[in-house]
Amino acid sequence: MNEEMKKLIQKYLNNEIDIESFSYDFPSLVYDWKHDDVPEEIVDAVGDISEACCNYEPNDDIRAEDEMYLNEKQVRKITEEKYNLILNLGKK
């Protein structure tokens, strides 16, 4: 995970940016991320956050049509869990 990705996650978790900005910007950063030398667990966690962003849907009616869609609370929970995992893996 690069510094730009970390800063974006921190801004989102600290309520400095909204879910719409985060769910749009984070997957864009992941797309360009060079991760050849990054441990697989971190790559997977970043991928999970990106997938949650891509599955974010603000409209309740649309979310009701397919369980793959997530609300903001679900995206935030996944982001917090995976970011904490990444931080803990970085301490090893």
Q: What is the pLDDT of residue 35?
A: 85
Considering its fold, how many domains does the chain have in total?
Answer: 1
What CA dihedral angle connects 26, 32, 36 and 39, to 10 degrees?
0
Interval 2-60: pLDDT, tens: 999 999 999 999 999 999 999 999 999 999 898 889 999 999 999 999 999 999 999 99
Q: Where are the alpha helices (DSSP H) in 1-92?
A: 3-13, 19-31, 40-54, 60-65, 72-90
**Separation of alpha carbons 25 and 21, rounded Å:** 6
Range of the domain at 67: 3-90
- For the chain, how far is it from start to end, CA to CA, in angstroms? 15
Instruction: Please state the pTM of the whole predicted model.
Output: 0.93
Read off the CATH number of the domain in which 58 is found: 1.20.120.650
